[in-house]
Structure 1
Amino acid sequence: MKDIETISMNQDVPVGTGRRELFAAMLAGMAIIGASGSASAQTLVSSDVTALQVALNLHYLSTNMLQLAIYGVNRQLPAQYIRGGETTDQPGVSATSAKQVAFPVGTRDIQARIQEIGDSLWYRTLMLRALLRADAPAQKQIDMTAERFTAMFRMAGAIGPNETFDPYASPLNLALAAETVMAVQATTLANLASQFTHVILRSSMLALAMATANDVTTLRTILMAGSTTRPELVTMVDRIAAWRNTIDGPTTTDRGMSPVVINGQTTARLSLTGDDGLHLTRTPAQALNVLFMTSAAATQGGFFPTGINGTIKTSAAN
């Protein structure tokens, strides 16, 4: 394992990124390095590494998907950011199965919000790799095609057995697909954040979990607004959330988006919180149930046809 004080945040910036995102990335690096310099040296233990590897695998999926959907060809994570560790003899598998989405003039606000999420994911991916360094798992094959989302949406009953869903056909379709992936990421990071033994790393990962939860709320806000012209969007989110909640076991890990009545007032459910107001969580194995699209113990499937690298690579047996 390694000392956290050796981490470097000298990473490339994606083309088209604004000053706000660049400044945020600089602050993130300064916060981690500055905090570690003022604390006594601590070494990452195996459980910290395992949790970071899970987080990185989740970010491989979401980052590649949104970068390609927003910017188009050749904007997937490059070879140096998907290889195993810090060497070139463990190459990763490039993700190219997502497509660029066209944003008509009336949807530029959606484009700006999703672009901000996509650029933030880029920086978070690089941060996780900087923390892991030699322990970073190589990216394996990722299937983000319309056929893969169609299979999931059919399983969830979000579309009919003979219908298809193309996440890249429209901005709202992209928001729905992104919510499907990011909801899993947010609940898993919420589970992992409190488990880190390194005090500085724990605070950084709590911030990462909160940022991802905010991303999901942003996507659900886009979908709720879009439901004025496409009312089926709310039903689709509800059914996908119910499917995620079922396929990963008996505990409550997910919530739909349909408005609920609280104290006599109807309110939208835009955040993934339980009745106690706390963010819902799922274990890494439960996350793989959703991403592998199976309730069984499996090592591959769904978005990851050949599985993932890292210590945890098997879904739960439900």
Structure 2
Amino acid sequence: MAHQDISGFDDTRRRFLQMAGSATAMAGGLSFLSACNDDVVGAEAVATPTPTGTATSTVLPPTYTATDNDRLNFGLQLHYLLAAYLHRALDGGALSASMTGGAGAAGTVSGGRRVAFTDLSLLAMMREVSEATDARIAYLRRTLAGAVTAQPAINIAGGEGSPFQAIAITKRGTPPPAVTSFFDPYASENDFLLGAVALSSVVTQAVYDVTWQLTAALRTGMAAFAAGIAASDAILRNSLFVRADADVRVPAAGQSNLFGRAVAMALGRDQYDGPRAMESDAPGIGGFAGADWVYSKIDIVNYNWIAIRRTPEQALGILYASAASVSSGAFFPAGVNGTIRVSGANTY
């Protein structure tokens, strides 16, 4: 993967992390340990995801007995998606073929484009997150060895009718963007961070859930693995928080600031993962309160400050953008590879 020369930006990055509260990168991992027991859509036709409560066909969630390999492969499938988004946005590329082969239906990545980054400190940190994601994919593939599954078909397009649009707007129909009526995560650095936080939160919460179900032989190592995911997620959420804090407190009529857009997207995810309000008690990454006060919500935790987990079925509901129980859709147009592949009918 070609990288821009970022030497000389280390000091800036350190200052940013200090300002953003880099200690929270570790907090997600500690919370987990305490919790254990192409482009904008337009010319191309993209299927519109099923809105909440209006599904015309359903597949009953199957019963299955998952093995450790099944759980690791599920985590791998989600990492393929996150890596695809980061690579396309940062470099306009994709994972190398040597990191995508395996069992199941192999697919390519469609949609998305390179983001025009102007903040070099932000770019350096996003490259760090991308490289960490790639390293975790390599780790999972080595661990799975002959049982590894292939990267499936992935759609990371933005814009009207896209997977990102489906998780950016709640059933109440309120879009998060400040000006347009559709969400394009490649339009700006801020839009990119909103998209990255959306995907990373689902990956982080789902890996938390499958990790504590692993057998003892793998659980300790994978707990450290999950802590690394939490650290990367905290970088993304910190980055978005700092930019939101610098945004306007009172947006113009009909527009939203970054805090408001992050809240809208959190609620957009919640509509697909079942009746429990996973993030609705305090959605987003923080907000303004009064004339001169701001609060942060970097950790993805519940009211007890325990890491929020989403079951695989809940995670797939979001990534398939369907409240019905289905085996494909949205970000995974042909579904994911492996035993764990059907969403939970918005009932789990």
Could you tell me whether the CA contact under 8 Å between 2:287 and 2:295 is conserved in 1?
Answer: yes
Q: Provide closer, same or farther for how the CA distance between residues 207 and 266 of structure 1 changes in structure 2, counting only shifts above 3 A.
A: same
- Does residue 1:270 correspond to 2:295, yes or no? no
Aligned partners of 1:159 and 1:167: how far apart in 2? 11
How far off is 1:305 after superposition? 1.0
Aligned partners of 1:251 and 1:151: how far apart in 2? 19
Q: Deviations over 1:135-193 (max 9, x none)?
A: 21222211101132223323463337971221111111111100010000011111111
How far off is 1:70 after superposition? 1.1
2:258 corresponds to which letter in structure 1? L
Match in the other structure for 2:220? 203
Matches within 5 A, 1:41-56: 47-56=67-76
The structure with more helix, counted as a fraction of residues:
1
Q: Deviations over 1:267-305 (max 9, x none)?
A: 311110111111100000100000000111001111011
Which residue, 111, 126, 151 being the options, matches 1:97? 111
- Does residue 1:299 correspond to 2:318, yes or no? no
Matches within 5 A, 1:243-262: 243-254=268-279, 255-259=283-287
Which residue, 277, 283, 292 being the options, matches 2:311? 283
Could you tell me whether the CA contact under 8 Å between 2:167 and 2:318 is conserved in 1?
Answer: no
How far off is 1:15 after superposition? 4.3
Q: Which structure 1 segments of 5+ residues have no match?
A: 1-13, 21-44
Could you tell me whether the CA contact under 8 Å between 1:252 and 1:280 is conserved in 2?
Answer: no
Could you tell me whether the CA contact under 8 Å between 1:67 and 1:119 is conserved in 2?
Answer: no
**RMSD, aligned α-carbons:** 2.6
Q: Which structure 2 segments of 5+ residues have no match?
A: 11-64, 250-256
Report the identity percentage: 28
Match in the other structure for 1:64? 84
1:311 corresponds to which letter in structure 2? T
Match in the other structure for 1:110? 122
Q: TM-score, normalised by structure 2?
A: 0.71
How far off is 1:252 after superposition? 4.1
Which residue, 206, 229, 235 being the options, matches 1:188? 206
Could you say which structure has the greater relative contact order, defined with CA pairs below 8 angstroms and 6 or more residues apart?
2
Matches within 5 A, 1:1-318: 14-16=1-3, 47-72=67-92, 75-85=93-103, 92-104=106-118, 107-147=119-159, 148=162, 149-155=164-170, 157-159=174-176, 163-199=181-217, 201-227=218-244, 228-229=246-247, 232-254=257-279, 255-259=283-287, 267-318=295-346
Q: Deviations over 1:168-223 (max 9, x none)?
A: 11111111100010000011111111111042x21221122222222222222211
Aligned partners of 1:142 and 1:112: how far apart in 2? 25
Aligned length, in residue pairs: 269
Q: Provide closer, same or farther for how the CA distance between residues 253 and 211 of structure 1 changes in structure 2, counting only shifts above 3 A.
A: farther
How far off is 1:100 after superposition? 1.1
Aligned partners of 1:198 and 1:291: how far apart in 2? 29
